[in-house]
Structure 1
Amino acid sequence: MPSPTADNLPSPAATEVPTADGPMPAQLWRPPSGRGPGLVLVQEIFGVSAYMQARAADLAGLGYLVLLPDLYWRLGETVDESRPDVLEQGLGLMARLDFGAAVADTAAALAALRARPEVDGGAGLVGFCLGGGIAFAAAASAAPDVLVSYYGSALPDLLDLAPAVTAPSLHHFGTADDYLPMEQVERIRQAVERPGVEVHLHPGAGHAFDNPSPAFHHAEASAAAWAQTVEFLRRELPAA
Protein backbone atom coordinates (compact mmCIF):
# COMPACT_ATOMS: atom_id res chain seq x y z
CA MET A 1 0.00 0.00 0.00
CA PRO A 2 1.61 3.28 -1.03
CA SER A 3 2.19 5.49 1.97
CA PRO A 4 4.53 8.26 3.06
CA THR A 5 7.58 7.03 4.92
CA ALA A 6 7.22 6.70 8.68
CA ASP A 7 9.22 9.88 9.16
CA ASN A 8 6.81 11.84 6.96
CA LEU A 9 3.46 10.51 8.20
CA PRO A 10 1.23 13.30 9.48
CA SER A 11 0.16 12.73 13.09
CA PRO A 12 -3.50 12.85 14.10
CA ALA A 13 -5.11 14.92 16.80
CA ALA A 14 -7.93 13.59 18.96
CA THR A 15 -11.21 15.40 18.48
CA GLU A 16 -14.96 14.90 18.87
CA VAL A 17 -17.97 15.20 16.58
CA PRO A 18 -21.27 16.41 18.06
CA THR A 19 -24.15 13.97 17.47
CA ALA A 20 -27.71 13.63 18.74
CA ASP A 21 -26.47 11.03 21.23
CA GLY A 22 -23.41 12.88 22.47
CA PRO A 23 -19.84 13.43 21.30
CA MET A 24 -18.40 10.84 18.92
CA PRO A 25 -14.63 10.35 19.19
CA ALA A 26 -12.63 10.97 16.04
CA GLN A 27 -9.10 11.59 14.84
CA LEU A 28 -8.08 14.53 12.67
CA TRP A 29 -5.12 14.69 10.29
CA ARG A 30 -3.98 18.04 8.96
CA PRO A 31 -2.10 18.40 5.68
CA PRO A 32 1.42 19.85 5.65
CA SER A 33 0.03 23.31 4.84
CA GLY A 34 -2.36 23.12 7.80
CA ARG A 35 -5.43 23.71 5.66
CA GLY A 36 -7.15 22.40 2.54
CA PRO A 37 -10.26 20.59 1.39
CA GLY A 38 -11.78 18.11 3.82
CA LEU A 39 -12.35 14.36 3.63
CA VAL A 40 -14.27 12.19 6.08
CA LEU A 41 -12.74 8.71 6.02
CA VAL A 42 -15.42 6.11 6.77
CA GLN A 43 -14.08 2.97 8.41
CA GLU A 44 -14.18 -0.65 7.30
CA ILE A 45 -15.43 -3.41 9.63
CA PHE A 46 -12.25 -3.37 11.70
CA GLY A 47 -12.94 0.14 12.95
CA VAL A 48 -10.31 2.84 13.36
CA SER A 49 -7.58 0.36 12.51
CA ALA A 50 -3.91 0.90 11.77
CA TYR A 51 -4.79 0.51 8.08
CA MET A 52 -7.48 3.19 8.22
CA GLN A 53 -5.11 5.50 10.06
CA ALA A 54 -2.44 4.91 7.40
CA ARG A 55 -4.91 5.77 4.65
CA ALA A 56 -5.92 8.91 6.56
CA ALA A 57 -2.26 9.90 6.70
CA ASP A 58 -1.91 9.20 2.97
CA LEU A 59 -4.83 11.51 2.20
CA ALA A 60 -3.49 14.21 4.49
CA GLY A 61 -0.17 13.93 2.68
CA LEU A 62 -2.02 14.77 -0.53
CA GLY A 63 -3.22 18.04 0.99
CA TYR A 64 -6.53 17.14 2.65
CA LEU A 65 -7.80 17.70 6.16
CA VAL A 66 -8.94 14.18 7.10
CA LEU A 67 -11.45 13.28 9.81
CA LEU A 68 -11.72 9.61 10.86
CA PRO A 69 -14.69 9.08 13.20
CA ASP A 70 -15.09 5.96 15.35
CA LEU A 71 -18.46 4.63 14.20
CA TYR A 72 -18.33 1.84 16.80
CA TRP A 73 -18.35 4.37 19.64
CA ARG A 74 -21.81 3.43 20.91
CA LEU A 75 -20.79 -0.23 21.20
CA GLY A 76 -18.04 0.54 23.70
CA GLU A 77 -15.65 -1.90 22.01
CA THR A 78 -12.82 -1.86 19.51
CA VAL A 79 -11.21 -4.57 17.41
CA ASP A 80 -7.99 -5.97 18.89
CA GLU A 81 -5.82 -6.30 15.80
CA SER A 82 -3.31 -8.51 17.61
CA ARG A 83 -5.82 -11.33 18.08
CA PRO A 84 -6.06 -14.21 15.59
CA ASP A 85 -9.86 -13.90 15.45
CA VAL A 86 -9.75 -10.30 14.20
CA LEU A 87 -12.13 -11.06 11.31
CA GLU A 88 -14.70 -12.56 13.66
CA GLN A 89 -14.37 -9.52 15.94
CA GLY A 90 -14.97 -7.15 13.03
CA LEU A 91 -17.95 -9.11 11.75
CA GLY A 92 -19.42 -9.23 15.25
CA LEU A 93 -19.17 -5.47 15.72
CA MET A 94 -20.57 -4.83 12.26
CA ALA A 95 -23.56 -7.06 13.06
CA ARG A 96 -24.29 -4.97 16.17
CA LEU A 97 -23.83 -1.60 14.46
CA ASP A 98 -26.97 0.48 13.97
CA PHE A 99 -26.53 1.26 10.27
CA GLY A 100 -28.89 4.23 10.31
CA ALA A 101 -27.11 5.75 13.28
CA ALA A 102 -23.76 5.23 11.56
CA VAL A 103 -25.06 7.05 8.47
CA ALA A 104 -26.27 9.93 10.65
CA ASP A 105 -22.92 9.99 12.46
CA THR A 106 -21.10 10.18 9.12
CA ALA A 107 -23.27 13.08 8.00
CA ALA A 108 -22.56 14.79 11.33
CA ALA A 109 -18.83 14.24 10.82
CA LEU A 110 -19.04 15.83 7.37
CA ALA A 111 -20.89 18.84 8.78
CA ALA A 112 -18.35 19.20 11.59
CA LEU A 113 -15.47 18.99 9.13
CA ARG A 114 -17.01 21.58 6.83
CA ALA A 115 -17.39 23.94 9.79
CA ARG A 116 -13.69 23.85 10.64
CA PRO A 117 -11.88 27.10 9.71
CA GLU A 118 -8.97 25.15 8.19
CA VAL A 119 -11.20 23.56 5.53
CA ASP A 120 -10.95 25.31 2.17
CA GLY A 121 -12.52 24.16 -1.07
CA GLY A 122 -15.23 21.73 -0.01
CA ALA A 123 -15.42 18.37 1.74
CA GLY A 124 -16.13 14.80 0.69
CA LEU A 125 -16.49 11.21 1.82
CA VAL A 126 -14.14 8.26 1.31
CA GLY A 127 -15.35 4.87 2.54
CA PHE A 128 -13.98 1.34 2.54
CA CYS A 129 -16.09 -1.87 2.67
CA LEU A 130 -18.69 -1.21 5.39
CA GLY A 131 -17.73 2.44 5.12
CA GLY A 132 -18.27 2.45 1.37
CA GLY A 133 -21.95 1.72 1.88
CA ILE A 134 -22.29 4.10 4.82
CA ALA A 135 -20.62 6.88 2.83
CA PHE A 136 -22.99 6.27 -0.11
CA ALA A 137 -26.04 6.42 2.16
CA ALA A 138 -24.75 9.58 3.87
CA ALA A 139 -24.06 11.16 0.48
CA ALA A 140 -27.76 10.88 -0.36
CA SER A 141 -28.64 13.40 2.35
CA ALA A 142 -25.44 15.24 3.29
CA ALA A 143 -24.43 16.35 -0.24
CA PRO A 144 -20.64 15.86 -0.09
CA ASP A 145 -18.54 17.48 -2.79
CA VAL A 146 -17.10 14.08 -3.76
CA LEU A 147 -17.69 10.43 -2.89
CA VAL A 148 -15.18 7.57 -3.11
CA SER A 149 -16.48 4.10 -2.27
CA TYR A 150 -14.25 1.04 -2.17
CA TYR A 151 -16.31 -2.19 -2.58
CA GLY A 152 -19.24 -0.81 -0.57
CA SER A 153 -20.68 -4.01 0.86
CA ALA A 154 -24.15 -2.55 1.60
CA LEU A 155 -24.61 -0.96 -1.82
CA PRO A 156 -26.95 -3.62 -3.26
CA ASP A 157 -29.47 -2.73 -0.53
CA LEU A 158 -29.08 1.04 -1.00
CA LEU A 159 -29.68 1.50 -4.71
CA ASP A 160 -32.99 3.28 -4.19
CA LEU A 161 -30.85 6.15 -2.86
CA ALA A 162 -28.83 6.43 -6.06
CA PRO A 163 -30.84 9.32 -7.58
CA ALA A 164 -30.12 11.41 -4.47
CA VAL A 165 -26.35 10.83 -4.64
CA THR A 166 -25.38 13.68 -6.94
CA ALA A 167 -21.72 14.24 -6.03
CA PRO A 168 -18.94 13.25 -8.42
CA SER A 169 -18.38 9.63 -7.41
CA LEU A 170 -15.78 6.91 -7.78
CA HIS A 171 -16.53 3.23 -7.10
CA HIS A 172 -13.98 0.40 -6.93
CA PHE A 173 -14.80 -3.33 -7.15
CA GLY A 174 -12.79 -6.51 -7.50
CA THR A 175 -13.91 -9.02 -10.10
CA ALA A 176 -13.31 -11.94 -7.69
CA ASP A 177 -15.27 -10.45 -4.77
CA ASP A 178 -17.28 -13.20 -3.04
CA TYR A 179 -19.33 -10.61 -1.10
CA LEU A 180 -20.16 -8.54 -4.18
CA PRO A 181 -20.32 -10.90 -7.16
CA MET A 182 -20.24 -9.39 -10.60
CA GLU A 183 -24.00 -9.58 -11.13
CA GLN A 184 -24.40 -7.39 -8.03
CA VAL A 185 -21.70 -5.03 -9.25
CA GLU A 186 -23.51 -4.70 -12.57
CA ARG A 187 -26.73 -3.80 -10.71
CA ILE A 188 -24.79 -1.15 -8.81
CA ARG A 189 -23.18 0.19 -11.97
CA GLN A 190 -26.51 0.54 -13.72
CA ALA A 191 -28.06 2.30 -10.71
CA VAL A 192 -25.27 4.84 -10.18
CA GLU A 193 -24.33 5.44 -13.82
CA ARG A 194 -24.53 9.11 -14.83
CA PRO A 195 -22.09 11.86 -15.85
CA GLY A 196 -19.53 12.37 -13.08
CA VAL A 197 -19.56 8.75 -11.86
CA GLU A 198 -16.67 6.35 -12.42
CA VAL A 199 -16.84 2.60 -11.79
CA HIS A 200 -13.53 0.72 -11.90
CA LEU A 201 -13.25 -3.08 -11.94
CA HIS A 202 -10.01 -4.66 -10.76
CA PRO A 203 -9.32 -8.07 -12.32
CA GLY A 204 -8.73 -10.97 -9.94
CA ALA A 205 -9.16 -8.88 -6.79
CA GLY A 206 -11.37 -10.05 -3.94
CA HIS A 207 -13.19 -8.12 -1.27
CA ALA A 208 -11.14 -5.67 0.82
CA PHE A 209 -8.32 -5.85 -1.72
CA ASP A 210 -6.84 -2.55 -0.49
CA ASN A 211 -6.44 -3.85 3.08
CA PRO A 212 -2.73 -4.73 3.54
CA SER A 213 -3.52 -7.91 5.51
CA PRO A 214 -2.25 -10.94 3.57
CA ALA A 215 -5.74 -12.44 3.87
CA PHE A 216 -7.18 -9.69 1.67
CA HIS A 217 -4.48 -7.72 -0.13
CA HIS A 218 -4.19 -7.69 -3.90
CA ALA A 219 -1.13 -5.58 -4.62
CA GLU A 220 -1.87 -4.74 -8.26
CA ALA A 221 -5.49 -3.81 -7.59
CA SER A 222 -4.58 -1.79 -4.51
CA ALA A 223 -1.97 0.22 -6.40
CA ALA A 224 -4.21 0.79 -9.43
CA ALA A 225 -7.22 1.80 -7.34
CA TRP A 226 -5.17 4.19 -5.23
CA ALA A 227 -3.73 5.88 -8.32
CA GLN A 228 -7.26 6.26 -9.70
CA THR A 229 -8.47 7.63 -6.37
CA VAL A 230 -5.67 10.20 -6.21
CA GLU A 231 -6.34 11.31 -9.80
CA PHE A 232 -10.09 11.56 -9.14
CA LEU A 233 -9.63 13.60 -5.97
CA ARG A 234 -7.11 15.93 -7.59
CA ARG A 235 -9.57 16.57 -10.41
CA GLU A 236 -12.84 16.81 -8.46
CA LEU A 237 -11.65 18.19 -5.10
CA PRO A 238 -8.23 19.70 -5.78
CA ALA A 239 -5.88 20.46 -2.91
CA ALA A 240 -3.28 23.19 -3.18
Structure 2
Amino acid sequence: MTHISNEQIPQQAFDWYDDYAHGDIDRRTFMSRLATLPIAGLTFGAVAGALTPNYVLAEQVSFNDSAIKATYETFESAKGHGTGQGYLVVPTELKAKAPAVLVVHENRGLNPYIKDVARRLAKQGFIAFAPDALFPLGGYPGNDDEGRTMQRGMDRSKIEQDFIAAAEFLKINEATTDKLGVVGFCFGGYISNMLAAVAPELIDAAVPFYGTPAKGELVKNVKAPIMIQFAENDKRVNASWPDYEAALKANKVDFIAHTYPKTQHGFHNDSTSRYNPEMAELAWSRTLSFFKEHLS
Protein backbone atom coordinates (compact mmCIF):
# COMPACT_ATOMS: atom_id res chain seq x y z
CA MET A 1 0.00 0.00 0.00
CA THR A 2 1.30 3.44 -0.94
CA HIS A 3 1.91 5.65 2.08
CA ILE A 4 -0.10 8.87 2.04
CA SER A 5 1.23 11.70 4.17
CA ASN A 6 -1.03 14.23 5.84
CA GLU A 7 0.43 16.94 3.57
CA GLN A 8 -1.19 15.21 0.58
CA ILE A 9 -4.68 15.32 2.07
CA PRO A 10 -6.77 18.51 1.82
CA GLN A 11 -7.86 20.09 5.09
CA GLN A 12 -11.47 19.67 4.07
CA ALA A 13 -11.03 15.89 4.10
CA PHE A 14 -9.68 16.02 7.67
CA ASP A 15 -12.60 18.21 8.72
CA TRP A 16 -15.13 15.82 7.21
CA TYR A 17 -13.42 12.85 8.84
CA ASP A 18 -13.63 14.66 12.19
CA ASP A 19 -17.37 15.16 11.62
CA TYR A 20 -17.71 11.47 10.76
CA ALA A 21 -15.61 10.28 13.70
CA HIS A 22 -17.72 12.31 16.12
CA GLY A 23 -21.04 11.15 14.71
CA ASP A 24 -22.07 14.39 13.00
CA ILE A 25 -22.29 12.67 9.61
CA ASP A 26 -22.57 9.00 8.66
CA ARG A 27 -20.04 6.96 6.68
CA ARG A 28 -21.98 7.24 3.42
CA THR A 29 -22.03 11.04 3.66
CA PHE A 30 -18.33 11.12 4.53
CA MET A 31 -17.43 8.95 1.53
CA SER A 32 -19.67 10.88 -0.86
CA ARG A 33 -18.09 14.15 0.20
CA LEU A 34 -14.60 12.76 -0.29
CA ALA A 35 -15.55 11.77 -3.81
CA THR A 36 -16.10 15.45 -4.66
CA LEU A 37 -12.57 16.50 -3.74
CA PRO A 38 -9.97 16.96 -6.50
CA ILE A 39 -6.97 15.14 -5.04
CA ALA A 40 -4.07 14.91 -7.47
CA GLY A 41 -2.81 11.38 -8.00
CA LEU A 42 -5.01 9.83 -5.31
CA THR A 43 -8.39 8.13 -5.36
CA PHE A 44 -10.94 9.11 -2.74
CA GLY A 45 -10.83 5.48 -1.57
CA ALA A 46 -7.10 5.77 -0.91
CA VAL A 47 -7.67 8.95 1.07
CA ALA A 48 -10.47 7.36 3.07
CA GLY A 49 -8.21 4.41 3.79
CA ALA A 50 -5.42 6.71 4.96
CA LEU A 51 -7.78 8.48 7.37
CA THR A 52 -9.14 5.22 8.77
CA PRO A 53 -7.07 3.64 11.56
CA ASN A 54 -4.68 0.82 10.68
CA TYR A 55 -3.69 -0.51 14.08
CA VAL A 56 -0.84 -2.60 12.72
CA LEU A 57 0.99 0.72 12.49
CA ALA A 58 0.28 1.71 16.08
CA GLU A 59 2.40 -0.72 18.07
CA GLN A 60 5.44 0.97 19.56
CA VAL A 61 5.74 -1.40 22.52
CA SER A 62 4.99 -5.08 21.97
CA PHE A 63 2.64 -6.83 24.36
CA ASN A 64 5.42 -9.45 24.54
CA ASP A 65 7.99 -6.91 25.78
CA SER A 66 9.77 -8.49 28.75
CA ALA A 67 9.95 -5.14 30.56
CA ILE A 68 6.20 -5.06 31.16
CA LYS A 69 3.36 -7.34 32.22
CA ALA A 70 -0.19 -6.77 31.01
CA THR A 71 -3.40 -8.25 32.42
CA TYR A 72 -7.11 -7.52 32.27
CA GLU A 73 -8.58 -6.49 35.61
CA THR A 74 -12.17 -5.87 36.67
CA PHE A 75 -13.38 -3.24 39.13
CA GLU A 76 -16.65 -2.38 40.83
CA SER A 77 -18.67 0.57 39.54
CA ALA A 78 -21.78 0.86 41.69
CA LYS A 79 -22.92 4.17 40.14
CA GLY A 80 -22.01 3.11 36.62
CA HIS A 81 -22.57 -0.22 34.91
CA GLY A 82 -21.90 -2.30 38.02
CA THR A 83 -18.61 -3.80 36.85
CA GLY A 84 -15.89 -2.43 34.61
CA GLN A 85 -12.78 -3.89 33.05
CA GLY A 86 -9.48 -2.45 31.94
CA TYR A 87 -6.02 -3.25 30.63
CA LEU A 88 -3.47 -3.03 33.46
CA VAL A 89 0.21 -2.74 32.54
CA VAL A 90 2.99 -2.79 35.13
CA PRO A 91 6.78 -2.72 34.86
CA THR A 92 8.14 -6.23 35.49
CA GLU A 93 11.15 -4.94 37.45
CA LEU A 94 8.97 -3.06 39.94
CA LYS A 95 10.89 -2.97 43.23
CA ALA A 96 8.65 -0.51 45.04
CA LYS A 97 5.30 1.15 44.59
CA ALA A 98 4.99 3.23 41.45
CA PRO A 99 2.83 6.20 40.46
CA ALA A 100 -0.18 5.35 38.32
CA VAL A 101 -1.73 6.80 35.18
CA LEU A 102 -5.27 6.19 33.98
CA VAL A 103 -5.39 6.05 30.16
CA VAL A 104 -8.70 6.99 28.54
CA HIS A 105 -9.65 5.97 25.01
CA GLU A 106 -11.49 7.88 22.31
CA ASN A 107 -15.20 7.50 21.52
CA ARG A 108 -14.93 3.93 20.27
CA GLY A 109 -13.67 1.73 23.09
CA LEU A 110 -10.33 0.28 24.07
CA ASN A 111 -8.61 -0.09 20.71
CA PRO A 112 -5.03 -1.31 20.10
CA TYR A 113 -3.59 2.23 19.96
CA ILE A 114 -4.77 3.02 23.50
CA LYS A 115 -3.42 -0.28 24.78
CA ASP A 116 -0.08 0.65 23.26
CA VAL A 117 -0.15 4.03 25.03
CA ALA A 118 -0.61 2.15 28.31
CA ARG A 119 2.39 -0.05 27.50
CA ARG A 120 4.48 3.04 26.66
CA LEU A 121 3.74 4.44 30.10
CA ALA A 122 4.67 1.18 31.81
CA LYS A 123 7.98 1.21 29.95
CA GLN A 124 8.61 4.56 31.62
CA GLY A 125 8.02 3.16 35.10
CA PHE A 126 4.34 4.00 35.62
CA ILE A 127 1.52 1.60 36.38
CA ALA A 128 -0.99 2.21 33.60
CA PHE A 129 -4.65 1.23 33.51
CA ALA A 130 -6.81 1.64 30.40
CA PRO A 131 -10.51 0.90 31.03
CA ASP A 132 -12.86 -0.13 28.23
CA ALA A 133 -16.14 1.79 28.31
CA LEU A 134 -17.61 -0.91 26.06
CA PHE A 135 -17.01 -3.74 28.57
CA PRO A 136 -20.71 -3.85 29.58
CA LEU A 137 -21.51 -4.61 25.93
CA GLY A 138 -18.78 -7.21 25.51
CA GLY A 139 -15.82 -4.89 24.96
CA TYR A 140 -14.19 -3.22 21.97
CA PRO A 141 -15.54 -5.15 18.97
CA GLY A 142 -12.40 -5.07 16.82
CA ASN A 143 -13.35 -2.20 14.52
CA ASP A 144 -13.86 1.48 15.16
CA ASP A 145 -17.15 1.94 13.28
CA GLU A 146 -18.95 -0.64 15.38
CA GLY A 147 -17.21 0.54 18.54
CA ARG A 148 -18.27 4.13 17.89
CA THR A 149 -21.88 3.06 17.37
CA MET A 150 -21.83 0.98 20.54
CA GLN A 151 -20.41 3.77 22.69
CA ARG A 152 -22.82 6.35 21.26
CA GLY A 153 -25.74 4.18 22.33
CA MET A 154 -24.61 3.91 25.95
CA ASP A 155 -25.64 6.06 28.91
CA ARG A 156 -22.99 8.81 28.99
CA SER A 157 -23.42 9.48 32.72
CA LYS A 158 -22.83 5.80 33.52
CA ILE A 159 -19.69 5.77 31.36
CA GLU A 160 -18.40 8.76 33.32
CA GLN A 161 -19.12 6.97 36.60
CA ASP A 162 -17.23 3.93 35.33
CA PHE A 163 -14.14 6.06 34.75
CA ILE A 164 -14.45 7.62 38.21
CA ALA A 165 -14.63 4.09 39.63
CA ALA A 166 -11.59 3.08 37.56
CA ALA A 167 -9.64 6.02 38.99
CA GLU A 168 -10.60 4.93 42.50
CA PHE A 169 -9.59 1.35 41.73
CA LEU A 170 -6.18 2.46 40.48
CA LYS A 171 -5.59 4.95 43.28
CA ILE A 172 -5.93 2.28 45.96
CA ASN A 173 -4.14 -0.51 44.08
CA GLU A 174 -1.56 -2.06 46.41
CA ALA A 175 1.20 -1.63 43.81
CA THR A 176 0.64 2.10 43.31
CA THR A 177 1.68 5.14 45.30
CA ASP A 178 -0.88 7.74 46.33
CA LYS A 179 -0.20 9.69 43.12
CA LEU A 180 -2.53 9.30 40.15
CA GLY A 181 -2.42 10.95 36.75
CA VAL A 182 -4.82 10.74 33.85
CA VAL A 183 -4.21 11.08 30.11
CA GLY A 184 -6.88 10.81 27.45
CA PHE A 185 -7.50 11.45 23.78
CA CYS A 186 -10.55 13.08 22.15
CA PHE A 187 -13.43 11.70 24.27
CA GLY A 188 -10.69 10.61 26.64
CA GLY A 189 -9.45 14.19 26.73
CA TYR A 190 -12.91 15.24 27.89
CA ILE A 191 -12.89 12.46 30.52
CA SER A 192 -9.47 13.66 31.72
CA ASN A 193 -10.82 17.18 32.16
CA MET A 194 -13.99 15.83 33.75
CA LEU A 195 -12.10 13.70 36.28
CA ALA A 196 -9.91 16.63 37.28
CA ALA A 197 -13.12 18.57 37.98
CA VAL A 198 -15.39 15.97 39.63
CA ALA A 199 -12.74 13.95 41.48
CA PRO A 200 -10.04 16.43 42.56
CA GLU A 201 -9.30 14.22 45.55
CA LEU A 202 -8.22 11.44 43.17
CA ILE A 203 -6.38 13.23 40.37
CA ASP A 204 -2.88 14.63 40.95
CA ALA A 205 -2.10 15.56 37.33
CA ALA A 206 -4.08 15.53 34.08
CA VAL A 207 -3.06 15.65 30.41
CA PRO A 208 -6.05 15.92 28.08
CA PHE A 209 -5.25 15.61 24.37
CA TYR A 210 -7.72 17.59 22.23
CA GLY A 211 -10.59 17.21 24.67
CA THR A 212 -13.33 19.59 25.73
CA PRO A 213 -13.61 20.75 29.36
CA ALA A 214 -15.94 19.53 32.06
CA LYS A 215 -19.46 20.90 31.82
CA GLY A 216 -20.54 24.26 33.21
CA GLU A 217 -19.64 25.15 36.75
CA LEU A 218 -17.70 21.92 37.29
CA VAL A 219 -14.53 23.51 35.89
CA LYS A 220 -14.30 25.57 39.08
CA ASN A 221 -13.43 22.38 40.98
CA VAL A 222 -10.20 21.62 39.10
CA LYS A 223 -7.26 21.69 41.51
CA ALA A 224 -4.58 19.41 40.07
CA PRO A 225 -1.89 20.61 37.65
CA ILE A 226 -3.08 20.19 34.10
CA MET A 227 -1.35 20.16 30.70
CA ILE A 228 -3.69 20.70 27.78
CA GLN A 229 -2.62 19.48 24.34
CA PHE A 230 -4.30 21.05 21.29
CA ALA A 231 -4.09 20.43 17.55
CA GLU A 232 -3.89 23.60 15.50
CA ASN A 233 -6.54 22.48 12.99
CA ASP A 234 -9.24 21.48 15.45
CA LYS A 235 -11.91 24.19 15.48
CA ARG A 236 -14.48 22.18 17.44
CA VAL A 237 -12.26 21.57 20.48
CA ASN A 238 -10.24 24.77 20.30
CA ALA A 239 -13.41 26.88 20.44
CA SER A 240 -13.90 25.69 24.04
CA TRP A 241 -10.49 26.92 25.21
CA PRO A 242 -10.98 30.67 25.89
CA ASP A 243 -13.68 30.09 28.53
CA TYR A 244 -11.80 27.12 30.02
CA GLU A 245 -8.58 29.12 30.20
CA ALA A 246 -10.38 31.97 31.95
CA ALA A 247 -11.83 29.56 34.53
CA LEU A 248 -8.46 27.95 35.22
CA LYS A 249 -6.84 31.35 35.66
CA ALA A 250 -9.64 32.57 37.92
CA ASN A 251 -9.19 29.55 40.16
CA LYS A 252 -5.38 29.80 40.13
CA VAL A 253 -4.91 26.29 38.71
CA ASP A 254 -1.37 25.32 37.73
CA PHE A 255 -1.86 24.77 34.01
CA ILE A 256 -0.03 24.93 30.71
CA ALA A 257 -1.49 24.66 27.21
CA HIS A 258 0.33 23.70 24.03
CA THR A 259 -0.96 24.05 20.48
CA TYR A 260 0.97 22.00 17.94
CA PRO A 261 1.38 23.67 14.53
CA LYS A 262 0.09 22.03 11.35
CA THR A 263 -1.60 19.22 13.30
CA GLN A 264 -5.05 17.65 13.10
CA HIS A 265 -7.37 16.37 15.81
CA GLY A 266 -5.92 12.95 16.61
CA PHE A 267 -2.33 13.84 15.69
CA HIS A 268 -0.90 11.60 18.43
CA ASN A 269 -2.64 8.50 17.05
CA ASP A 270 -0.02 6.79 14.89
CA SER A 271 -2.50 4.56 13.06
CA THR A 272 -3.84 7.15 10.57
CA SER A 273 -2.62 9.92 8.27
CA ARG A 274 -3.63 12.46 10.90
CA TYR A 275 -0.52 11.33 12.78
CA ASN A 276 2.24 13.93 12.96
CA PRO A 277 5.39 12.08 14.15
CA GLU A 278 7.39 15.14 15.19
CA MET A 279 4.57 16.85 17.07
CA ALA A 280 3.33 13.58 18.58
CA GLU A 281 6.79 12.87 19.98
CA LEU A 282 7.06 16.40 21.36
CA ALA A 283 3.64 16.19 22.98
CA TRP A 284 4.43 12.77 24.44
CA SER A 285 7.82 13.83 25.83
CA ARG A 286 6.11 16.79 27.49
CA THR A 287 3.45 14.46 28.88
CA LEU A 288 6.02 12.13 30.41
CA SER A 289 7.98 15.03 31.91
CA PHE A 290 4.78 16.48 33.35
CA PHE A 291 3.82 13.20 35.00
CA LYS A 292 7.34 12.62 36.33
CA GLU A 293 7.30 16.09 37.85
CA HIS A 294 3.88 15.91 39.47
CA LEU A 295 3.53 12.21 40.33
CA SER A 296 6.98 11.46 41.73
- TM-score band (shorter)? 0.7 to 0.9
Letter in 2 for 1:13: T
Aligned 8 A contact 1:175 1:205 in 2? yes
Provide, for residues 158-198 of structure 1, a one-character-per-residue CA deviation record: whole Å limited to 9, x for no partner: 25321101111111001111432x43333333333444111
C-alpha distance in 2, partners of 1:190/1:222? 27
Q: Which SS does the other structure have where 2:73 is aligned?
A: strand
| Superposition pairs of residues 37-116 of structure 1, within 5 angstroms | 37-81=99-143, 86=144, 88-116=145-173
Change (3 A) 1:60 1:9: same
1:202 aligns with 2:260: yes
Tell me if structure 1 keeps the 8 A contact 2:186–2:266.
Answer: yes
In the other structure, the counterpart of 2:227 is 170
Aligned counterparts of 1:224 and 1:159: Cα–Cα separation in 2:
31
State the Cα deviation string for residues 17-62 of structure 1 (Å, max 9, x = none): 1011422111211124333011111111231111101100011111
Rounded Cα–Cα distance in structure 2 between residues aligned with 1:201 and 1:73:
33
Matched, 1:226 2:284: yes
Identity over aligned pairs, percent:
25
Separation in structure 1 between the aligned mates of residue 244 and residue 230 of structure 2, nearest angstrom:
10
State the aligned residue count.
Answer: 230
Letter in 2 for 1:151: Y
Secondary structure class of the residue paired with 1:101: helix
- Whole-angstrom CA distance in 1 between matches of 2:137 and 2:155: 10
What's the CA shift for 1:90? 4.2
Deviation at 1:73, TM superposition (A): 2.0
Label 1:97 to 1:199 Cα distance change in 2 as closer, same or farther (>3 A). Answer: farther
Q: Report the residue type matching 2:244 in the other structure.
A: I
Q: Distance in 2 between matches of 1:141 and 1:102?
A: 14
SS in structure 1 of the partner of residue 208 of structure 2: strand
From 225, 230, 240, the counterpart of 1:184: 240
Helix, strand or coil: the match of 1:170?
Answer: strand
Q: Using the alignment, how far apart are the partners of 1:76 and 1:46 within structure 2?
A: 13
Letter in 2 for 1:39: V
> In the alignment, what sits opposite 2:28?
none
The corresponding residue for 1:28 is 88
SS in structure 2 of the partner of residue 205 of structure 1: strand
Change (3 A) 1:205 1:2: farther
Q: Which secondary structure does the structure 1 equivalent of 2:177 belong to?
A: strand
- Helix, strand or coil at the partner of 2:91: coil
| Shift in alpha-carbon separation, 1:32–1:77, aligned structure 2, 3 A | closer
Q: Of the two, which has the highest radius of gyration?
A: 2
- Structure 1 equivalent of residue 204 of structure 2: 145
**Counterpart-to-counterpart distance in 2, 1:179 and 1:26:** 29
* TM-score for the superposition, normalised by structure 1: 0.86
Does 1 or 2 have the higher relative contact order (CA < 8 Å, sep 6+)? Answer: 1
Distance 1:9 1:96, change over 3 A: farther
TM-score (norm 2): 0.71
Cα 1:233–1:149 shift into 2, 3 Å: same
Give the counterpart letter for 1:148 in structure 2: V
Give yes or no for contact 2:103–2:131 (8 Å, CA) kept in 1.
Answer: yes
Q: Name stretches of at least 5 consecutive residues in structure 2 with no aligned partner.
A: 1-57
